[in-house]
Structure 1
Amino acid sequence: MAVIIVTGASSGIGRATADRLGRTGNTIVLTARRAAELAEVARRIESNGGTALVVPADVRDPGTAGTLVDRTLAATGRIDALVNNAGVGGSPSVLADDAEVDAMLDVNLRAPIRLMRAVVPIMRAQGAGSIVNIGSVAGEIGLAGVYSATKFALRGLTDSVRRELAGTGIAVTLIEPGFIATPLTRRTNLPGPEIVADAVEKALRRPRRRMVFPVKYRLAMTAASTLPFLADRILAGRAAERHERGR
């Protein structure tokens, strides 16, 4: 059975992913800021036959990656997979203040970099491992200000790391969800986070370069790249309007 680190595991996609992966007897290392919620996820995993290690931490802290890896190795002796799921949103406008910008950069981009930097040497020594980064369709279509910027950057980083690690036995996958029902979204009638959890499980079982869910967003991504003027027209002014409504 595998030892899998899941960040942002207290709710949404992270919780659904931890639940799904824990069902097959894996050891799931759960990290997020909310210890009580993590404890509940751990109880659910263990009741389903898996093993859970709870490490409450804030991925914005530069020391978290080292602490998480040290705790995992002390308890299990190995790390088979890392799911970089923790993420935060913010204003879709370039007028977002520094606090929002820093939070999105720290959680959505710097944390995955630090965590990959921490686990790659271990996986190299093992001769195998998997990294799954949770991006966003907003990393393909510029529509959410700094959030989009962090997800564009994560996409480029994932491609680069995958190529860097080619031949080492370490697989690197990017999963790009569209609108999913999570604490970050307010829309109704959206698919649940289980659709992404299922994609993570598939990526760990049979690695692939990139996965987009729900699949309908692939058409929007293709249209935005081949007909950018159309995306400009459809999205014109929306970020400013949403920023003003949120003030």
Structure 2
Amino acid sequence: MGTMQGRVALVTGASRGIGAATAQALADEGARVVLAARDERALQAVADQITARGGSAIVVPTDVSDPDSVCQLVARTLGAYGRLDVAVNNAAGGGHRPTPLAEVAIADFDSAIQVSLRGVFLAMKYEIPAMVRGGGGAIVNMSSTAAHWAVGGLAGYVTAKSGLTGLTRTAALDYAASGIRVNALTPGPVRTENLDRAGPRTREKVAASVPMRRLGQPAEVAAAVVWLCGPGAAFITGTSLSVDGGLLAGMPPYEQER
């Protein structure tokens, strides 16, 4: 019996990377999983992998920037499974390429906020009432080490992820007495499609900046999500857990010249 046996879990941004790995990990622990993202074909491929391993998954194409689409996502979840116990708000997007702040287009900045911050607000707005009716639940919002250690040129992304910290804490306080735990996860550099496209030289440089001298893997982030949503984290809410190879701990020691 897995730690998620009998539970229903919703994962946004589930079509690839951390979202897909998280959906698979939750299913492996016994959860019935609802997969949400805009790319229906990619979602179906993830669902097929889950069912091939004996799990249960349904696909609900969703645009997290659209309130009606998010409302329908939760309604479809309840219609299929009758309850919602776990939500992982992983969808992100919009924003801009590395650009000095004064040169960032207003529309690009707004798009980062709309998807990566407002989208999480919308998700929780509809997820939380469903969890309250079911007697409680656990939510994990996917943030980033950039929320605590800014990256130059990424004003939209850094602002959205920083805002998630306050949004997560506020939701945790609002619903702790209702049995709903709300936490954030702050991954460091993780090998997903973006880093794969960047090429081996970039991956090597990024990995060298991590104290553990390697990139994280989506499955490692997914394992942290499963733990935060499970019984082992039953007294944890309103916090941000870093999965970053030591990146936020500080600066590694300088190598001494010999």
* Range class of TM-score, shorter chain: 0.7 to 0.9
TM-score normalised by L of structure 1: 0.85
Corresponding position: 1:174 with 2:184: yes
User: How many Å apart are 1:215 and its aligned residue?
Assistant: 3.9
User: How many Å apart are 1:103 and its aligned residue?
Assistant: 2.1
Q: How many residues align?
A: 221
Query: Is the contact made by 2:165 and 2:240 (CA closer than 8 Å) also made in structure 1?
Result: no
Query: Is the contact made by 1:24 and 1:49 (CA closer than 8 Å) also made in structure 2?
Result: no
Distance of 2:37 and 2:118 partners within structure 1: 15
Distance of 2:70 and 2:194 partners within structure 1: 24
Q: Which residue of 1 aligns with 2:146?
A: 138
User: How many Å apart are 1:121 and its aligned residue?
Assistant: 1.3
Structure 2 unmatched runs, 5+: 1-5, 205-214, 252-258
Q: Which residue of 2 aligns with 1:204?
A: 229
* Secondary structure, counterpart of 1:110 in structure 2: helix
User: How many Å apart are 1:46 and its aligned residue?
Assistant: 0.8
User: How many Å apart are 1:168 and its aligned residue?
Assistant: 1.2
Distance of 2:134 and 2:63 partners within structure 1: 27
Could you tell which deviates more after superposition, 59-68 or 30-39? 59-68
* Secondary structure, counterpart of 1:28 in structure 2: strand
Q: Which residue of 2 aligns with 1:52?
A: 57
Query: Is the contact made by 1:161 and 1:172 (CA closer than 8 Å) also made in structure 2?
Result: yes
Corresponding position: 1:91 with 2:121: no
User: How many Å apart are 1:35 and its aligned residue?
Assistant: 0.9
Structure 1 unmatched runs, 5+: 224-247
User: How many Å apart are 1:153 and its aligned residue?
Assistant: 0.4
Corresponding position: 1:159 with 2:163: no
Distance of 1:16 and 1:91 partners within structure 2: 26
Distance of 1:183 and 1:175 partners within structure 2: 19
User: How many Å apart are 1:160 and its aligned residue?
Assistant: 1.2
Q: Which residue of 1 aligns with 2:203?
A: 188
Query: Is the contact made by 1:24 and 1:50 (CA closer than 8 Å) also made in structure 2?
Result: no
* Secondary structure, counterpart of 2:194 in structure 1: coil
* Secondary structure, counterpart of 1:91 in structure 2: coil
Distance of 1:162 and 1:146 partners within structure 2: 24
- Aligned letter for 1:216? G
Distance of 2:194 and 2:64 partners within structure 1: 17
* Secondary structure, counterpart of 2:181 in structure 1: strand
Of all paired residues, the percent bearing the same amino acid is 37
2:13 aligned to which of 8, 11, 21: 8
For the aligned residues, what is the CA RMSD? 1.5
Query: Is the contact made by 1:175 and 1:211 (CA closer than 8 Å) also made in structure 2?
Result: yes
Query: Is the contact made by 1:25 and 1:49 (CA closer than 8 Å) also made in structure 2?
Result: no
Per-residue CA deviation, residues 24-69 of structure 1 (Å, 9 max, x unaligned), is 2311100111111111100111111211010012212221211101
Distance of 2:171 and 2:54 partners within structure 1: 33
- Aligned letter for 1:115? A
Distance of 2:30 and 2:48 partners within structure 1: 13
Q: Which residue of 1 aligns with 2:38?
A: 33
User: How many Å apart are 1:146 and its aligned residue?
Assistant: 1.5
- Aligned letter for 2:164? L
- Aligned letter for 2:193? P
Q: Which residue of 2 aligns with 1:24?
A: 29
Query: Is the contact made by 2:110 and 2:156 (CA closer than 8 Å) also made in structure 1?
Result: no
Corresponding position: 1:116 with 2:107: no
Distance of 2:123 and 2:110 partners within structure 1: 18
TM-score normalised by L of structure 2: 0.81
* Secondary structure, counterpart of 1:78 in structure 2: coil
